[in-house]
Structures are given as C-alpha cells and as structure tokens.
Structure 1
Amino acid sequence: MVSKLLVFGGNGFLGRRICQEAVKNGFQVMSLSRSGRPPRPQSLQDKEWIGEVQWEAADVFDPLSYNRHLRDATDVVHSLGILLEDESYKVKVRNPLNKSFDLKSLIPSFGSNPLDKKNPNFTYERMNKESALILAQAFRQTLSSNESKRAEMPTFTYISADKGFPLIPKGYINSKRQAEAELMHYEDFFRPILVRPGFMFDEYKTSSDARSYVHNGLELLNCGNRVLLRNKLHFVNELIRPTISTQQVSRNIISKIRDPSFSGIVSLESMLSMN
C-alpha cells in the first residue's frame, strides 16, 4: 500500500521541501493551503517533483474543507505557523535586499495603532497552537470512524521550534510548546512527531533576501562560538544555536515518519547529526 501524505502548508518555505522529499521516497503527496497553488519552481528539478504533488485549497480552521482528504491519509504534516504577529513580516523576509533594507524593520514594535485592522487568525495562539489542534482532532475523528484496519500507526508531524529567538515575544515559543503537550495526548490514535528546527535556510536559494542576511549573521556567530569559545560555554550555546537547511529538516521528517517505532521530539541536534 502506498503511503498518502497530507502536508498542510505544502507550498511554504519548509512545506515545499517536505513535499519534495516525500515524493522522492515514494509517497503519494497532497499539499493543502489557502490558495491551493504550487510554489514557483526554482530549478528544473523543482518542476519534476511539483508535477507529482496534488495541490488543493483548504482552510485548516474549517475541517469540512479537508475531511474528505483525511479519510485515506496515512500521514499528516502541519507546516503552518508564524514567527511574528504581523502579517507583513513574511513579505519583508521574502523580498530581495536593497540599499534601503533595515534589519530593524523585522523586529516587532512594542505598542500598536488600535485603529489598524488585523487578521484575527494571525496570532500565536491561533496559528501556532489552535490550527494544529483543530487538524489533529479532525484526523483523530476520521481515524476513529474509519472501520478499516491500518497496517501501521498513522503519524501526525508538527513543526515546532528549537528555542525562542532574541527580540521575539515569548508567546511564539510558548504557543509551540503548548501545542506539543496537547498533541502528545493523541498517542493512542497516531504517532506524534514533534520537530524542533532552529533558523532554517534553503540550500538552493540563490537570491539575497532578509532571510539570507540573518542566516549569514547567525553563521558568523556560530563560527565564532566554535572557533574562539570551542562551544564550551553552556549559556552561549543556548543563545547561539546552529542553523539548519529545509532539506535536512525534510529528510529527518520523512525518516521519522517511516520509522514505526518513533514518536516524540526530534531535536535540532539529532537532525544535524543525521547525514
């Protein structure tokens, strides 16, 4: 039986690489997102695997929009979430760098204009926690109502985070940890796989944008910690964390999905140690 993987947010920065790795490993793959559109290919290789994925539109907060897809799914990935409660930051991160770029523009401001209209769903509580729990509950109900027995325990993968980031509100990491704790309660229905990557970059990204700017800065700090301090100071190691590529994270996710004995946390260190 071919495993069917549903990736919520499959056209996103990490989600697209999860889809790519799943196709490579013989999964039947479906991406679900608000737009239902595939990502823009960055290479000829991208065009090949993108054509193998089924791209569908759905609203994670509305199970009626995707329940039919859950019925024959063996594995589900929740690759949704936000770093800041400001919708504009994702556009700023993706845009090419120019002379007017200011890193401070990515830092959240303390205090906001009460007249500004904000998306009520664009909060840590809704995007990082509730969206995952709504999806997990929908998957559990589908599994409970499905009378056919499965050869292996289904999986539910949640993209969490390694640590909080300096200058990022604590609500970010708190919402991730709260979601993790709730998802572990579903162990009788599926294997929870809780993935904790650090700052991510794409190995095939060629253009310069805000993400590459931050990545280069973090790599410089990591190099200094490794060469000058030899990673011997615990508090420095906790503050300056290694970066990891979306490709490495995706390989680890598919590996853990295929391992019927695994459930629980996938740490940043364990992902970096995997070849």
Structure 2
Amino acid sequence: MRTVVSRLIHSRASISKLNAMTISKSRRHLSTDSNKVDEPFKVEEAETINVPPPPTEKLLVLGGNGFVGSHICREALDHGLSVASLSRSGRSSLHDSWANNVTWHQGNLLSTETWKEALNGVTAVISCVGGFGSNSHMYKINGTANINAVRAASEQGVKRFVYISAADFGVANYLLQGYYEGKRAAETEVLTRFPYGGVILRPGFIYGTRSVGSMKIPLGVIGSPMEMVLQNAGSLSRIPLVGPLFIPPVNVTAVANVAVRAATDPVFPPGIIDVHGIQRYNQRKSK
C-alpha cells in the first residue's frame, strides 16, 4: 500500500514539473513574439502597373457646320466626346470658342475616297446631310450621299449611326418628291446596315437661332409658340391630306440632345423616332 501511495506522489511531482516546463517555454515564446511586434514593420513598395485610359467615344458629324450639325457638335463636346465633322466646305465659319475643339474634315460624300480617312477611330456617326433643288439633285444629296456614308461606316465597324431625316408632311411629299424619296432610301439603308444601332429622327420644322454670316436669325420667335400650340393638337395631325401640316415644330437643342444620346447610349432603342418621340426623349433627359 505504501508503495502505491509513493508512486502516486512521485507521478504528481513529475506532472507538476512538466507543467512548469511548459509554462516556462510558453512565456519565452510570448516574450519573443512581443519583441517581434516592437520591431519596425517593413513595407515593400508595390510594383507600378501602367493601365491604359478607357477608350474615348469619337463622334463624326456629317454636315457639322450647318444649323443642326453645329448644335450637335456643341452638344457632343458638352458630353465630353471627341468630335469631328465632315462637310464639303470643311471648317465651320462660326467663330464660337467650341468650334476650336472640333476636328474639321473636308470631303464629298458622293466620292468616298475624299473622306474615308475621317472614319478612323470613329465609334458613332450622326448625319445631318440634306438639301433642296431639282428632284434628281435632292435624291442625290438626301439619298445617295447618305447611303454612301452608311455603307462606309458599316464597313469601317462603326457601332451606331443616327440619321436626321424629316417628318412626313403628306402633300409636301409630292411637291418635293426627290427630297423625300432620297430621305426614305437613306432610312432603309440605315435600318438594314445598323439593325441594332441605327436611329432615325424625323423632326418637322426645326427652330432655333440660325447664324447666317454675321447675322443671327431667331427662328424661335415663330417656332416656340407654334410648338406649344400644336404639341397638344394631336387629333389635327390625323386629318386626311392636311393633317401632317399640323406636326409641331421642335427646338434644335432638343434634336441635338436626342441625336447625341442615340449615338452614344448603347441601350437607346434603334428605329424611327417622330417629333413626339424626340420631345419625350428630350424631356426624360432634362429631368
């Protein structure tokens, strides 16, 4: 019995010594770790990686030195876009400061070789090209010239194409047959070549301040009151033959706003937008 008790006492003593050794070692480790915390923390400098800036949207405005085109150029610049213009006369005669930020190209849409370089790097095109004259001349300017532009832009890989066309005025279509036939032919080409990125705007009378040389003609004096009256007279536009004559005018800034949005917004729906649609899209943007 004494032998068993002696062995138990000896075992307890051994366990106590073992615990003491473990605690001692743990203290040494804690002491060592605390010393390491006190040491200064070394931070290695991260390697610098040159990340290229995001691609810039580049817009080409066909007829950018005209009444509608100049407003579109200015609107696009306000959106931070890189803007270029192509026309037969080249640089705009406007002396406004924004005109210095546009890259001006001179060329003839009827001769693709004279202007195809202007499409380099372009992501969207807005065409304001149009004109009046004989039926053959009107078809050539409103139709053939724009069709050439649509085809060249498509072959160059341009993402979106916006065409400023014209509202259907009924009786006027017969009086300006070449004008409207050319417009509709160009519309067909846009919808065919750009089924997911082609937008056609059909405004009626476009008003705003038009610059002719050093003179400024305030078309808004007539257009603004007419727009206020006719935009709420939708039933009149459905009258046979003369109904289209009651299509309300639209401000040039509204046309420019919607055109730039259609050219740059990837979710903007493709297709034809009439004057009422232009007004709605412009109001949505201004809110």
Q: TM-score, normalised by structure 2?
A: 0.67
Residues 72 and 203 (structure 1), Cα distance of their counterparts in 2 relative to 1, 3 Å cut: same
* Equivalent residue, structure 1, for 2:263: 257
* Equivalent residue, structure 2, for 1:178: 185
**1:80 aligns to what SS in structure 2?**
coil
Residues 176 and 223 (structure 1), Cα distance of their counterparts in 2 relative to 1, 3 Å cut: same
Higher relative contact order structure (alpha carbons within 8 Å, sequence separation ≥ 6):
1
Flag structure 2 segments of 5+ consecutive residues without an equivalent. Answer: 1-54
Alpha-carbon distance between aligned partners in 2 of 1:254 and 1:171, rounded to the nearest angstrom: 28
Q: Alignment partner for residue 51 of structure 1, among 95, 100, 105?
A: 100
Question: Is the CA contact 1:70–1:139 (under 8 Å) kept in the aligned structure 2?
Answer: yes
One-letter code aligned to 2:257:
R
User: Which string of whole-angstrom CA distances, capped at 9 and with x for unpartnered residues, describes residues 179-223 of structure 1?
Assistant: 2112211136x71111111111115779675x849x72x667666
Q: Alignment partner for residue 28 of structure 1, among 82, 93, 97?
A: 82
**1:51 aligns to what SS in structure 2?**
helix
Residues 142 and 240 (structure 1), Cα distance of their counterparts in 2 relative to 1, 3 Å cut: same
* Equivalent residue, structure 2, for 1:133: 147
* Equivalent residue, structure 2, for 1:192: 198
Q: How does 1:156-167 map to 2 (within 5 A)?
A: 156-164=161-169, 167=172
Q: Alignment partner for residue 252 of structure 2, among 226, 236, 246?
A: 246
Question: Is the CA contact 2:87–2:107 (under 8 Å) kept in the aligned structure 1?
Answer: yes
Question: Is the CA contact 2:200–2:271 (under 8 Å) kept in the aligned structure 1?
Answer: yes
Question: Is the CA contact 1:124–1:172 (under 8 Å) kept in the aligned structure 2?
Answer: yes
Question: Is the CA contact 2:169–2:244 (under 8 Å) kept in the aligned structure 1?
Answer: no
Which protein shows a greater Rg? Answer: 2
Q: How does 1:144-163 map to 2 (within 5 A)?
A: 154-163=159-168
The CA RMSD measured in Å over matched residues stands at 2.9
Alpha-carbon distance between aligned partners in 2 of 1:223 and 1:156, rounded to the nearest angstrom: 30
- Percent identity over paired residues: 26
Question: Is the CA contact 1:164–1:173 (under 8 Å) kept in the aligned structure 2?
Answer: no
Alpha-carbon distance between aligned partners in 2 of 1:251 and 1:226, rounded to the nearest angstrom: 19
**1:123 aligns to what SS in structure 2?**
helix
Residues 124 and 258 (structure 1), Cα distance of their counterparts in 2 relative to 1, 3 Å cut: same
Question: Is the CA contact 2:65–2:92 (under 8 Å) kept in the aligned structure 1?
Answer: yes
Q: Alignment partner for residue 37 of structure 1, among 86, 91, 106?
A: 91
* Equivalent residue, structure 2, for 1:13: 67
Q: Are positions 1:202 and 2:205 aligned together?
A: no
**1:232 aligns to what SS in structure 2?**
helix
The Cα of 1:172 is off from its aligned counterpart by 2.0
Residues 186 and 241 (structure 1), Cα distance of their counterparts in 2 relative to 1, 3 Å cut: same
Alpha-carbon distance between aligned partners in 1 of 2:74 and 2:224, rounded to the nearest angstrom: 26
Question: Is the CA contact 2:143–2:181 (under 8 Å) kept in the aligned structure 1?
Answer: no
**2:67 aligns to what SS in structure 1?**
coil
Give 1 or 2: higher helix fraction.
2
**May I ask how many residue pairs the two structures share in their alignment?**
220
Question: Is the CA contact 1:16–1:39 (under 8 Å) kept in the aligned structure 2?
Answer: no
Alpha-carbon distance between aligned partners in 2 of 1:36 and 1:12, rounded to the nearest angstrom: 11
One-letter code aligned to 2:182:
S
